[in-house]
Every structure is written in structure tokens, then in C-alpha cells.
Amino acid sequence: MSTQIPPGWKGGFAQSNPAFAYPTPDLSSLPMLDNMDNIDLLQRQQGVKWPEFSWQTILGKEDSRCFQMFSPYISRLGYTDEGRVYSIICPQQGACSPVFGCMNVEVTVTGQRGWVDEDTKTFYADMTVEGTIWFSPSAHQKEWVQKLWKVFNEEKLDFPTSKEKAIKVTTHKFQDSSQPIFPVSQGETPRFQSPPFARHEAEAWNVGHIDVEIGPIRKTGHKVVDDFNKLVMDAFNTASGNMLKQGNTLTWNVWFSQPELVDTEEWRTHAERWRKSIQADHGSPTGPGTDARYFDGTPFKPLDALDSDMKGVLKEETHDLEEVEINKIKGFLNKHFEDKI
């Protein structure tokens, strides 16, 4: 790997307050800034060439842990020549359910602050994020999505067909539900060992990690919409191995490429380009990631993550996952719209 970095690095921000330093960085003297408010101040960046995600597909069972690399450069750290972080691009992904079709899944950064020191290849940041899930245009063609959307329109209820009407999933610091701010720290996560296929020590410029615990779905204040959002999230978690299931911890080791200069206009439009690419079913514009795998490399299958009761239903009544999802939708419609179907 080339170690040539672009000129202009000054540094100094990491050393501007002794409280910022490891082993226990404290950034509380800095405001949490909106992720898009200071794009014009960005001068340098480190791209996450290898965003390696991991989670337990069955909560509490470490041997159920999966590893999956999302698309290269799906995330980035943006900062000034002095090393102050002003923006962090986080992942967008597509996920598909047999009945609901493909959904956009975005980790939306709602606040950030931090520092980078290129001289020592270290960094630290704080973040707040929210999971955001909505149907992609291709999902609009699915029979059950059209039926549900029609009913919701008739009742003048929001349906998650855009980011503005998306399902919101809260997050918080690992093992602290009272703290929405969580750290992005130097090094790989110390909570578990990653397999060789999920490590890039020989190629990466640097590595950091994030451990974020998944909270409840954000309530809308409308019982019907809240019940439907839970139905969609259950389908997503079945397909993804409980990635965003409440109480689970989503970890990603972010393996960075070397520093580069920032094109602020490209940065500003990055999220929209990704969203359009995913929504048009073109996949990820920077190339595909990997399929979810267990530590030994065995591919993950959605059936693996079902609880024993659900597995019993599938076995005893010979249902497949699609039929189970359809039955849940019918139950939802009968509960809330029996007089309209």
C-alpha cells in the first residue's frame, strides 16, 4: 500500500485540549454538530474501504455471530487540515424481504464531533445515529405493498415510501440506553475476535470500531402506523438475521484507506447518489460487499436466526417464510381494517 498522503496536513486539534487524549477521550466540551452543516470546512478525508459489520443473529448466542463487509467506501471520515472532524458518512444498504421486496436501509448520522491525527494514525469521534428504513421503488410493485399502500392512502396514514416517511429505529451507547451518544474509537473492537476474512491489517491505513446498541422503533403516535412499522421491521430482521432487532449490538470495524483531499460538492451529494443507485436497483455504486458469514466462513441463512417457536411453525405446518409474512400481514389487516378488506 502506498503511504504517500496529500500535502496540507497541519494537525494540532487533537492536542488542543488534554481531555481529548486517549486512554479516555472526553469530547464533551465540543458541540454535537449536524452532519451536513459544515461541509464547506472539510479539507481531508479517510475512506472506509473495508466496512466490516458484525452482529449476533440470535441475541445472547456468541456462536451465532455473523460477519459481513458492506460496499467499499460506503463510509467516510471528513476533517480539516488541523484535524477537526466535521462530517461522517455512514452506511446505506439494500435489504430484501420475499413479500415486501427491497427496502432502503440507512444509518443516518444525526450528530458528530471528533478529531484526527494523521501523524500518529489515530482518531476519536462521538456520534448519534438513527436507523432509517423505507420501501424502494421496486418494492412498490409488490402485490402486498400495493394493497397496504392503498389502504393507508384511503385512511390518510403515512406509508414508508420515502426517507421523509421512513421507519425510524433508535440507537444508543453499548449497554447504556440512557446515552444516545456513542464513541467511534481507535483499533478493532475488543468485544470479540474477527475471522481472518474480516481483517485487513496488511492493507489498511488505520482501523477504528463502533459498538452501537439497537433501541426501540420510534413511535409515531398512531397505533396503526406503529403496528405496521413493527411488522416491516420484523420482516427486515428475519431477512437480515436480526441486524436491527431491539437489544442487539451492531458492531463495525472501519478499516480506512490513506488520507485524501475532499471535494466538498462530491461529499455533499454522496448520500443522494448512493440512495438513487440503490433505489434504482443498480446496487452499490462502489461495488458489492460480501454475503453474511459465520466465523468459520459458513454462509448465513435467514432460517438460522428464527426462534424455536417459528421454526416449529415452519416444520409442523410446512410454511415457508413468505407464507408466514403474508399471514402476519393478513392478521394486521384483519385487526385494523377488517371493514375495508
Dump pLDDT digits (tens) for 185-202: 999 999 999 999 999 999
What are the backbone angles phi and psi of residue 294, rounded to the nearest 5°?
Answer: -80, 175
| Region 66-86 average pLDDT | 94
Q: What are the residues whose beta carbons fall under 8 Å from the beta carbon of 276, sequence distance 6 or more? A: none
Residue 301 grid cell: 441463512
Q: Three-state SS for 133? A: strand
Q: Tell me, yes or no, whether 322 lies in a domain.
A: no
Q: Tell me, yes or no, whether 311 lies in a domain.
A: no
Percentage of residues in the chain with pLDDT exceeding 90?
63
Q: Are 132 and 106 in contact (CB under 8 A)?
A: yes
Residue 215 predicted with pLDDT over 90: yes
Whole-angstrom distance, CA of residue 81 vs CA of residue 118: 10
Q: Quote the number of domains for the chain.
A: 1
- Write the pLDDT tens digit of every residue in 272-309: 665 555 444 434 444 557 889 999 999 998 877 765 54
The string of DSSP letters for 138-163 reads: GGGGSHHHHHHHHHHHHTT---SSSG
Q: Tell me, yes or no, whether 257 lies in a domain.
A: yes
Q: Tell me, yes or no, whether 132 lies in a domain.
A: yes
Whole-angstrom distance, CA of residue 172 vs CA of residue 82: 29
Q: Tell me, yes or no, whether 121 lies in a domain.
A: yes
Q: Tell me, yes or no, whether 277 lies in a domain.
A: yes
| Region 23-38 average pLDDT | 96
Q: Which domain holds residue 149?
A: 18-302
Output DSSP code: residue 30.
Answer: S
Mean pLDDT (the chain) is 88
Dihedral over Cα of 281, 282, 286, 289: its sign: positive
Q: Tell me, yes or no, whether 201 lies in a domain.
A: yes
Whole-angstrom distance, CA of residue 123 vs CA of residue 209: 11
Q: Rounded to 10 degrees, what is the CA torsion of 27, 32, 36, 38?
A: -60
Q: Tell me, yes or no, whether 332 lies in a domain.
A: no
Structure pTM? 0.87
Whole-angstrom distance, CA of residue 23 vs CA of residue 3: 26
- Residue 133: strand pairing partners: 105, 167
Residue 106 predicted with pLDDT over 50: yes
